[in-house]
A and B are shown apart, each in its own frame.
Chain A
């Protein structure tokens, strides 16, 4: 079963929180919705599930047909940032979704137990849920959602608040079970690596509008506009007036090199001149902020930085690591609406 929406607008008072013309997540595929804080990611997820008392217009679609709240309720299950567990054992929590759908206790427990094992918390089944760590609790919350056999799974930043190891382990386990589940999965996240690890396709949501939708590898590597570039980590901007190109060039700060102002450029590189404003040691790397004639740029380097504040330098980037934002996008007023969301050729 696929889930999607058509002309979905969510607003509060006079303020539009979300305006998505169209979106579809196919059965057996995972779509990551990537966006900064306040972009409307959770609003989109809750609107798709008909959750919350939001003012909403447009249609949520199941298999391309407008769906009622009860149809959505039957088809989907959601996992939120914080695992909201009940005052009960881990097993009873995992069985809670089934119980809420009317399954008898014994059968619900039987159905839930394998999912606890799949998520690596089967050995905790008889423990009180209140004694679990954050990572364990989130695993139980995911098992609870999977146990109902959802045809649509909605994940709202489920890895937030977990330590790096727990997060990596959970992502790996989740990837395995999602493959088994065959459901349409929508993963809301602000983390590119989560999208890369779990999603076939990725949508970029900024300011309540979809800016870009496509295959994850393509979207993460080819920002369509300056804000998408910033979201995807291409935060060092080389403006046209400094590079002489007709396009805005963007790059990841860690891909930039800091050269002496008189140094000759290596082949296949683009560079801009500026003066060092400050250097900030960040453990294994150093961040160097450079003032240019247009705007400050940042460089992250693992090399030793000898340049002092006020010193003239060049910021160079290998063309291979540069992404180009066409002038047409720069000159357009405001962000492109979701109705014209940029897509990759595969879509």
Chain B
């Protein structure tokens, strides 16, 4: 119990004293996770919309693949991205391995199937005649699709939250492609793992609490927006 109490106290002390390393790790965590989530939204929402609305051969298989991707092990993604970015790999010349960019790529790879699958599910819940009705009122195809996304905005926000949750909490891929380099690619999850392996439980718990706080703050903000929309409808 003492370890837990010390962990909480250390976390408060680290934040209160403005420990530079802790803040930089926290800032990097936020930067990587939010960037990866944004990319996942940019890729996953159109992909999910295509899966939900498209009429093409293999759609169901792709939908099943996206649903499977929701449970994609981060370590597998990390391994795949590592091989791609390895010095002798297909993209080795870019020199991205063990950089925040590599971590963003890996985390976007984890979150995109989550966003795509949840987007497809969200759009399939909307009335199947919605787009036709919008078109019948004079909407161009892009406007009708925009109206569809607006109609499904609540579950789409949930898709974004799920994507962010998937990346901010993962450690496997971040460790593999980032290398946990101090001051460069160390994020809260990898820092917590390192502290735990060193027996610095108080510090590890402090990182854990910070991680929870970030996840809670981001989800709280999105939830408030979501609920405001629910009340308005």
Contacts and interface: CB of A to CB of B under 8 A. Distances in A.
- Asked if A and B bind, the verdict is yes
Contacts of A49: 136
Nearest to A145: B137
A96 B137 contact: yes
Nearest to B154: A87
A145 B133 CA distance: 10
A78 B136 contact: yes
B144 interface: yes
Nearest to B148: A86
B147 A128 contact: no
User: Is chain B's binding surface mostly helix, strand, loop or mixed?
Assistant: helix
A183 to B, nearest CB: 14
Given A53-B55, A86-B147, A80 B233 contact: no
Interface stretch (B1-9, B15-23, B62-70, B124-132): B124-132
A148 B137 contact: yes
A84 B133 contact: yes
A196 interface: no
A101 interface: yes
Contacts, number: 61
A282 interface: no
B233 A74 contact: no
A53 B141 CA distance: 13
B140 interface: yes
Nearest to A131: B233
Contact of A88 (B55, B132, B144, B233): B233
A154 B136 contact: yes
B149 to A, nearest CB: 12
A35 B127 CA distance: 26
B170 interface: no
User: Is chain A's binding surface mostly helix, strand, loop or mixed?
Assistant: mixed
Interface in A200-215: none
A148 B138 CA distance: 9
A77 B138 contact: yes
A97 B140 CA distance: 11
B143 interface: yes
B151 A51 contact: no
A225 to B, nearest CB: 33
B47 to A, nearest CB: 21
A200 B139 CA distance: 30
Contacts of B43: none
Looking at chain A, what size class is its interface with the partner chain? 20 to 34
A303 interface: no
Given A53-B55, A86-B147, A100-B143, A80 B137 contact: no
A105 to B, nearest CB: 13
A144 interface: yes
A130 interface: yes
A51 B135 contact: yes
B209 interface: no
Interface in B83-115: none
B130 A73 contact: no
B10 to A, nearest CB: 46
A97 B55 CA distance: 26
Which of B127, B133, B140 is the most central at the interface, judged by chain A CB atoms within 10 Å of its CB? B133
A100 B129 contact: no
B134 interface: yes
A145 B150 CA distance: 20
B50 to A, nearest CB: 15
Given A82-B129, A86-B147, A100 B233 contact: no
Nearest to A83: B133
Interface in A8-54: 46, 49, 51-53
A310 B66 CA distance: 67
A53 B137 CA distance: 17
Contact of A80 (B136, B138, B147, B151): B136
A76 B135 CA distance: 10
B62 to A, nearest CB: 19
A11 to B, nearest CB: 17
A100 B147 contact: yes
Contacts of B233: 87-88, 128, 130
Interface string A55-78: 000000000000000100110111
A100 B134 contact: yes
Pairs A-B, 10 closest by C-beta atoms:
A78-B136, A97-B137, A100-B139, A84-B133, A87-B233, A101-B138, A84-B127, A84-B129, A73-B138, A128-B233
Interface of A: 46, 49, 51-53, 70, 73-74, 76-78, 80, 82, 84, 86-88, 96-97, 100-101, 128, 130, 144-145, 148, 154
Given A73-B138, A80-B136, A96-B147, 7 more contacts: A51-B132, A77-B136, A80-B133, A82-B129, A144-B137, A148-B137, A148-B138
Interface of B: 55, 127, 129-130, 132-140, 143-144, 147, 150-151, 154, 232-233
19 contacts: A51-B135, A52-B132, A70-B140, A74-B138, A76-B138, A80-B132, A82-B127, A86-B151, A87-B233, A88-B232, A96-B134, A96-B147, A97-B137, A100-B137, A100-B138, A100-B144, A128-B233, A145-B137, A148-B137
